[in-house]
Amino acid sequence: MIAGRYALLAELGRGGMGVVWRAQDRVIGRQVAIKELHIADGVPPEERRVLEERVLREARTAGKLNDPGVVTVFDVVSDGGVPWVVMELVEAPTLATLISARGPMPQEQVVSIAQQSLSALEAAHQAGIVHRDVKPGNLMIRADGRVKLTDFGIAQAHDDPRLTTSGSLIGSPAYMSPERLHGHDASAASDLWALGATLCYAVEGWSPFERSSTASTLHAIMNETPRLTRAQGVLGAVITGLLIGDPNARLSAPQARAMLNSIGNQPTPPQGLPPAATAHLQQGPAVDPAKKKRNRILALVAAVVIAAGAFTGGIFAHRAFSTPPAAKTALTYGETGDIPVFELYGEGQCADGQLVAGKQITNESKTDTCTESHDIEVFDEVPTFDESSSSKPDVSYPGKEPLTTLGVARCQLTFDSALVVDKADLQITVLVPTQAAWEEKNPQRKIFCVTSHKNGDKLAKSVLAKKDS
């Protein structure tokens, strides 16, 4: 009996931080999970104090959260000088257990897991809390398809100065973001990177960076590119966007959620469950048609990031800090834009004249070929939505910010690839359409990736690698 109230019934699991028990709350009568801090013999007193404080912080952290995707903390008690955290009992396997037993999950189920996990993380991040250890072993999947994010024991609240980690890395190596390996603090963006790796594990059936040793795992995170073979469409775009190495270019939680919402928002129960286990699921709330259409357009805008990487049949995730990013400027083109007229409609088009506010790049500015002296070259063009919808007059303008986010990410991806050569002295300008250009009679809706010399010098040849005929 713990604290005269909780009767331990059976051990549920154990790990480096403690033992989790099934227990009976003798006051209320419900069953709960109760976590006991487990400290090995011989641990120095100071380290023991830090570990005990970490458990108490778990309770403080999780106690702030109110989201159906987060395991609820009911109580914290001390018994025999040991802290115990009393939590909601979730009788469900972890994502790691399910994948180990059944193999990769279908895309629609992973979409549901992604949506619910994002909701839980957004609730945590809005409360100033970083989880720091998002991984398949910390996502529990109930029989009805509901997801529970657990183990905030190493989470860090931004406003909790009582516990430091002395510069040590806390978390599971295979799900640790590149910037954390570079010594930066954990952040909401690093949680999202870990979620991207977790979703990759769910849909592909393997951890994208886990290797036979910690050293090789960290090397993979910093230098290797996971290739998605099962994830397609928007889900593939979300995973790719979450695994962008630069946290400033990585998808945010609202962006990822908007993309996923375009393909459904219902929890999908695990395969093989009897009909009775899913009969009580309710339909999701009604979605305003105009909002749904806008979300779909934004999802398609973001999903095109995939295309930047499909150079060799797999998904090219932006390599973490593989090369320093080229200096980027984002300008608008079209009526009321920074560049009122821009007539280089396509990859490999070159022209004289620098891209500065107020400058017009017309047909007369073009050079006959890019082998002549020129100032600028379009090295990539980005379609902003489903090409089959391009002629529809009711396609709303997504806004400058999402177009710029997409353009910067896509242009950097292409620039970093083998498609662009001799890039050391080059810089990038991203051109996105204005609302006027988007809505004119013959709409201009593409994003253009333009390069020029950093010093303003002329370019003597094309920046694009020669293609086989």
Stated as kind and residue range, the H or E segment containing 9 is strand 6-14
For 223, other C-beta atoms within 10 Å of its C-beta total 12
Residue 29 DSSP label: -
85: left (phi over 0), alpha (psi -120 to 50) or beta: beta
Answer yes or no: are the C-beta atoms of 25 and 45 closer than 8 Å: no
133 given a catalytic annotation:
yes
The amino acid at 144: D
Contact 428, 454 (CB under 8 A): no
Lookup result for tokens 């086989």: 468
Query: How do 426-433 and 328-333 pair as beta strands?
Result: parallel
Amino acid at 253: A
Q: Which residue has the tokens 């930047």?
A: 308
> Could you say which of 41, 67, 79, 133 is catalytic?
133
Query: Would you tell me the crossing angle of helices 95-102 and 188-204 to the nearest 10 degrees?
Result: 20
Match 């990031």 to its residue by tokens.
Answer: 305
CB atoms within 10 A of CB 122: 20
35 has binding-site annotation = yes
Q: For residues 350 and 369, is the Cβ–Cβ distance under 8 A?
A: yes
Query: Which amino acid makes up residue 356?
Result: V
Sequence-distant (≥ 6) Cβ neighbours of residue 276 within 8 angstroms: none
Residue 368 DSSP label: S
| Residues annotated catalytic, as ranges | 133
Tell me the binding residues. 35
Please give the annotated binding residues for ATP, written as ranges: 35
